[in-house]
Structure 1
């Protein structure tokens, strides 16, 4: 088993894919309302919401623990509704040397597929693959979907 890897998942939502993409781009600060059970706060430390190079600090709950992650927006591909983040500080970095997250919105007729990908490098062989972060991503996706359907 190697130290580097990629894990992926996807889920289908019935809420508007454009709204979902917007939530992870220019309206990321709304996350604490849309997914409050999972995300307590998001702070913009540098740049502008939804802009490559911007630095964001997440305060989130995973497995009953309050955690933080500081990340930079690496890219925003508006036409393809695809956003990439690179975590560089926080609890994740206690286990991983590198940790990148991509979220992509793929319209599928009346529904939308949300694709999540995590590329990582573990600090050592004892560190598990970050599958629990994929579970977290699905939970956040479903919370955002519910928020958008309820507030539409």
Structure 2
């Protein structure tokens, strides 16, 4: 059984690509209001709210499988390719995984349409931990919640 892996999915949304990307880069503090069942709180560890800039560190409190969890992450942006990369630093996922990195890439699919390609890369500590399907599904759900918010 492989210890390292990658999960990839694509979700199409009715939102211009730059609008979705901008929310992650400049309006990250609004996500707990957009998806309160999933994300309860985001705290600044290093950086500020005005720019969730490249290299800033945040602590996310979220609920998955009816269980409260926390992750500290460092974010990386590629403004040209509309890529948001979140590198896990510490938190509950590291009870089972050595590395945990999520990437959103926003791709234009026409006027006011985008595809969000979500990639979750991980390395398990040993053969026992489950695959991180629930985290991958949660990030896809977050993309749909953001779409609903942006359409208002």
- Across the aligned residues of Structure 1 and Structure 2, the Cα RMSD in angstroms comes to 1.1
Is 1:114 the counterpart of 2:102 in the alignment? no
C-alpha deviation, 1:10, in angstroms: 1.0
**C-alpha distance in 1 between matches for 2:132 and 2:40:** 21
1:79 is matched with which residue?
80
**C-alpha distance in 1 between matches for 2:115 and 2:55:** 26
Please give the TM-score of this superposition, normalised by the length of structure 2. 0.93
Post-superposition CA distance 1:42-91 (Å, at most 9, x none): 11110233212211000111111111100011x21101110111111111
**C-alpha distance in 1 between matches for 2:80 and 2:52:** 14
2:95 is matched with which residue?
94
SS at match of 1:80: coil
Residue-pair matches, total: 149
Unaligned 5+ runs, structure 1 = none
1:131 is matched with which residue?
133
Unaligned 5+ runs, structure 2 = none
**C-alpha distance in 2 between matches for 1:35 and 1:53:** 24
**C-alpha distance in 2 between matches for 1:24 and 1:95:** 27
Moved over 6 A (4+): none
Is 1:32 the counterpart of 2:36 in the alignment? no
Please give the TM-score of this superposition, normalised by the length of structure 1. 0.93
Tell me, yes or no, if the aligned pair for 1:50 and 1:76 is still in contact at 8 Å.
no
